[in-house]
Amino acid sequence: MALQNLILLFFSLLIIVQFPSSTAQNVVKATYWFPDSGISASDINSTLFTHIFCAFADLNPQTYEVTISSSNQNSFSTFTNTVQQNNPSIKTLLSIGGGSSNASDFAAMASQASSRKTFIDSSIRIARSYGFYGLDLDWESPRNDSEMSNMGLLLDEWRTAVANESSESPLLLTAAVYYSSVLNSVSFPVDSIGNNLDWINIMAYDYYMPSWSKVTGAHALLYDQPNRISTSSGVDSWTGSGLSAKKMVLGMPYYGYAWTLVDPANHGIGSAATGPALSDSGAVRYVDIKAFIQNNSATLVYNSTVVANYCYAGTTWIGFDDVEAISTKVSYAKGKGLLGYFTWHVANDDNWVLSQAAYSGWN
């Protein structure tokens, strides 16, 4: 063997030894997509993301198997191929559950070893047969200490089963969780999360809603006074509970909430309001907020103290994240040493403006 070849072999081995196919992640720039969200998978500009969550698979409440509804069969089975057309290195994950799924069913599944095994085995089978690179638990949310500790057991067994596949590319395991590590005085199973998940998606939004708040609110503000809800206080609680920053992916909303002002002349954050505007819940997609501003020549404000945007015209007031809030949060996440960010949800963007701001904010 020529010396050159030996040297080549030596360096190849060195590379293999130094860089095993580990699960260590580079920065995560992720988003969620679901059918009927307004765009099809082929419309997603996948060059702007490293990971995409395909939402949602379901939990069968009788058998505890993970299933994909018949209406989602086609779009889910082609999802990975479709989004990889323009970005072959993008990784897809299948999200299970979601905000409108039944938390009691997840609690029941997690309470017994046999149903946990059914859930786990079926989730891995589905992920592999549909070509996903990972699985995302969207159990929203465990409600007391026993449910939280059962979630911990579920994650222990899920990781064991994924490792037991002995695949060169083990499935990624993630979970979407509350903005804080403590929910109604109950702590998440932080040790199990740290040991078993690749990361958590921190749902850092919906702090204020017009359905119950009688004053206007920035529903995803980054900073506030001590003892008031904010994204930074949530991240601090996760850090304080012992979770590594490298396991945290910060959520950002592509939507806002519209309130009806009591007095159009009183239009700051915290102004008196009578209830929702523009939709039943007041929720408005970012793309529609931009159209509202255009149509009504609304005044657009960025409050850099709390890191939130809002706009108003007449008696309508909308709190949301525009380019400034998104960019500042991405800088914050990077500065804090987090793993990355995700957005909910991709179809609400306006001509990729927010996705581009987020992407270019973290190099």
Ligand X SMILES: *[C@@H]1O[C@H](CO)[C@@H](O)[C@H](O)[C@H]1NC(C)=O
Does 146 sit near ligand X (CB under 6 A)?
yes
Q: Give the residue, chosen from 48, 248, 307, 326, that forms a contact with ligand X under the rule CB under 6 A.
A: 48
**Measured from the CB atom, is 18 or 184 closer to ligand X?**
184
Count of residues in contact with ligand X, rule CB under 6 A? 25
Does 163 sit near ligand X (CB under 6 A)?
no
Does 321 sit near ligand X (CB under 6 A)?
no
Q: Is-contact 161 171, C-beta < 8 A?
A: no
Site string for ligand X, 71-110 (x = CB under 6 A): -------------------------------x-xx-----
Site string for ligand X, 285-304 (x = CB under 6 A): ---x--xx--x-------x-
Does 47 sit near ligand X (CB under 6 A)?
yes
**Measured from the CB atom, is 45 or 266 closer to ligand X?**
45
**Measured from the CB atom, is 242 or 314 closer to ligand X?**
314
Q: Give the residue, chosen from 136, 140, 147, 322, that forms a contact with ligand X under the rule CB under 6 A.
A: 147
**Measured from the CB atom, is 39 or 77 closer to ligand X?**
39
The sign of the torsion formed by the CA atoms of 194, 101, 329, 92 equals: positive
Q: Which stretch binds ligand X (CB under 6 A): 45-53, 167-175, 235-243, 341-349?
A: 45-53
Contacts of 24 (CB under 8 A, 6+ apart): none
Does 144 sit near ligand X (CB under 6 A)?
yes
Three-state DSSP string of the chain: CCHHHHHHHHHHHHHHHHCCCCCCCCCEEEEEECCCCCCCHHHCCHHHCCEEEEEEEEECCCCCCEECCHHHHHHHHCHHHHHHCCCCCCEEEEEEECCCCCHHHHHHHHCCHHHHHHHHHHHHHHHHHHCCCEEEEECCCCCCHHHHHHHHHHHHHHHHHHHHCCCCCCCEEEEEECCCCEECCEECCHHHHHHHCCEEEECCCCCCCCCCCCECCCCCCCCCCCCCCCHHHHHHHHHHCCCCHHHEEEEEECEEEEEEECCCCCCCCCCEEEEECCCCCCEEEHHHHHHHHHHHCCEEEEECCCCEEEEEECCEEEEECCHHHHHHHHHHHHHCCCCEEEEECHHHCCCCHHHHHHHHCCC
Q: What angle do CA 184, 174, 102 make, to 5 degrees?
A: 50
Please report how close the Cβ of residue 337 comes to ligand X at its closest, in angstroms. 25
**Measured from the CB atom, is 162 or 172 closer to ligand X?**
162
Site string for ligand X, 245-284 (x = CB under 6 A): ------------------------xx--------------
**Measured from the CB atom, is 244 or 295 closer to ligand X?**
295
Q: Give the residue, chosen from 11, 14, 61, 195, that forms a contact with ligand X under the rule CB under 6 A.
A: 61
**Interatomic CA distance for residues 270 and 318, integer angstroms:** 12
Q: Is-contact 172 124, C-beta < 8 A?
A: no
Does 306 sit near ligand X (CB under 6 A)?
yes
Please report how close the Cβ of residue 132 comes to ligand X at its closest, in angstroms. 18
Residues 173-202 within binding reach of ligand X (CB under 6 A): none
Q: Give the residue, chosen from 74, 195, 244, 305, that forms a contact with ligand X under the rule CB under 6 A.
A: 305
Q: Give the residue, chosen from 27, 39, 153, 161, that forms a contact with ligand X under the rule CB under 6 A.
A: 161
**Interatomic CA distance for residues 7 and 9, integer angstroms:** 5
**Measured from the CB atom, is 274 or 295 closer to ligand X?**
295
In the residue annotation, 147 being an active-site residue is answered as no
Give the side-chain half-sphere CA count within 13 A for 105. Answer: 19
Task: List the catalytic residue out of 140, 165, 168, 324.
Answer: 140
Does 169 sit near ligand X (CB under 6 A)?
no
Active-site annotation, residues: 140
Task: Note the residues at the interface with ligand X (CB under 6 A).
Answer: 45, 47-48, 61, 102, 104-105, 143-144, 146-147, 160-161, 164, 269-270, 288, 291-292, 295, 303, 305-306, 352, 356
